[in-house]
């Protein structure tokens, strides 16, 4: 019960990693505000107890400001944020990328994260405590796990984690990130569907050192660790939660 009496906001809580994270926070005693653009998804994610849902597009700063105000109006504080909402993009070569795709993906994945840090951060600095955990990706560390805009947005989230940690550290507010590897969620459903159709499910994640893909609950566990007092001396860090994927050069033919 690491979050007994605490208030958490989870963005992208209508599906996948965000849903698992909201449930984990709730199971450890937090009152949780579940946030998403997908209202039906939020209804499915909502745990039993004293929790709330908010429909909010994190790329729109006015909506984020209203979200944080609503949480403070209801519960008076914000102790933890899982800044997790995100979208992917197709993997066409850089020569084919459009300005629209760059703006859309950076708008949600990077500026959306900055919007939430800004407004939750104002509350946390006023309290003199708080922890923010951003969901980046292995795609922000190496190429090959997402399209150009997606990967750049996640590299941006890793750096924003460092700069925000520096801005907020003097107020006892910590900012960290997780970098998930391949996890089965709404975002990756097409990849899993295609592999299953071709009878190649066992290939998914097989290049990780743990030789498997991950579950949303395994990312939720890492997010809640970083948001908890167990991580009280950790800030500005981006933790790969990827079955060892980024630990290896993964040269073809080298796995035994
Ligand atoms: N699934 C993976 O393999 C994987 C790997 C690395 C990182 N991630 C990251 O994990 C995070 C969660 O993704 P997921 O895999 O659970 O996917 P998902 O699609 O299941 O969940 C993402 C959620 O974010 C919501 N969302 C999208 N745009 C939004 C916006 N503008 N405002 C508010 N909510 C919005 C979606 O409606 C959805 O419910 C994302 O940031 C994603 O980039 C996922």
In the chain, domain spans: 7-184+215-240
Q: Which CATH architecture has domain 7-184+215-240?
A: 3-Layer(aba) Sandwich (3.40)
150 is catalytic: yes
Atom in ligand 1 nearest the alpha carbon of residue 136: 7
Query: What is the average per-residue pLDDT within 129-139?
Result: 98
Atom in ligand 1 nearest the alpha carbon of residue 184: 1
Main-chain phi, psi angles of 76, to 5 degrees: 85, -5
- Provide long-range contacts, Cβ within 8 A and 24+ apart, for 203-211: 205/181, 205/243, 206/255, 207/245, 207/250, 207/255, 208/181, 208/182, 208/242, 208/243, 208/244, 208/245, 209/243, 209/244, 209/245, 209/247, 209/248, 210/243, 210/244, 211/243
Tens-digit pLDDT profile for residues 21-50: 999 999 999 999 999 999 999 999 999 999
Catalytic annotation, pick one of 150, 224, 235, 243: 150
Q: Is 14 in the pocket of ligand 1 (CB under 6 A)?
A: yes
Q: Is 15 in the pocket of ligand 1 (CB under 6 A)?
A: yes
Confidence of residue 250 (pLDDT cuts 50, 70, 90): confident
Q: Is 185 in the pocket of ligand 1 (CB under 6 A)?
A: yes
Mean pLDDT for all residues in the chain: 96
Does the pLDDT value for residue 174 go beyond 80? Answer: yes
pTM summary value: 0.97
pLDDT at position 254, please? 64
pLDDT at position 251, please? 74
pLDDT at position 256, please? 59
35 CA from centroid of ligand 1 (Å): 11
pLDDT at position 249, please? 83
Q: Is 87 in the pocket of ligand 1 (CB under 6 A)?
A: yes
255 CA from centroid of ligand 1 (Å): 31
- pLDDT above 70: percentage of residues in the chain: 98
Q: Is 147 in the pocket of ligand 1 (CB under 6 A)?
A: no
162 CA from centroid of ligand 1 (Å): 21
């Amino acid at each position: 019960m690491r979050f007994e009496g605490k208030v958490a906001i989870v963005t992208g809580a209508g599906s996948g990693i965000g849903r698992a994270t909201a449930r984990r926070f709730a199971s450890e005693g937090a009152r949780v505000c579940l946030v998403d653009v997908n209202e039906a998804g939020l209804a499915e994610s909502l745990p039993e107890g004293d929790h709330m849902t908010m429909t909010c597009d994190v790329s729109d700063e006015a909506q984020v400001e209203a979200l944080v105000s609503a949480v403070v109006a209801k519960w008076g504080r914000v102790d933890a944020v899982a800044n997790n909402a995100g979208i992917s993009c197709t993997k066409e070569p850089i020569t084919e990328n459009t300005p629209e795709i760059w703006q859309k993906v950076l708008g949600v994945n990077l500026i959306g994260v900055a919007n939430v840090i800004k407004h939750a951060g104002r509350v946390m600095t006023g309290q003199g405590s708080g922890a923010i955990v951003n969901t980046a990706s292995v795609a922000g560390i190496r190429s090959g796990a997402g399209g150009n805009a997606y990967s750049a947005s996640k590299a941006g989230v890793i750096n924003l984690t460092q700069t925000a940690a520096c801005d907020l550290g003097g107020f006892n507010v910590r900012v960290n990130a997780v970098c998930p590897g391949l996890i089965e969620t709404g975002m990756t459903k097409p990849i899993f569907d295609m592999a299953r159709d071709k009878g190649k499910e066992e290939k998914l994640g097989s290049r990780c050192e743990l030789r498997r893909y991950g579950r949303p609950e395994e990312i939720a566990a890492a997010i809640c660790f970083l948001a908890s007092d167990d991580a009280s001396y950790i800030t500005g860090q981006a933790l790969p939660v990827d079955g060892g994927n980024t630990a290896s050069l993964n040269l073809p033919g080298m796995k035994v």
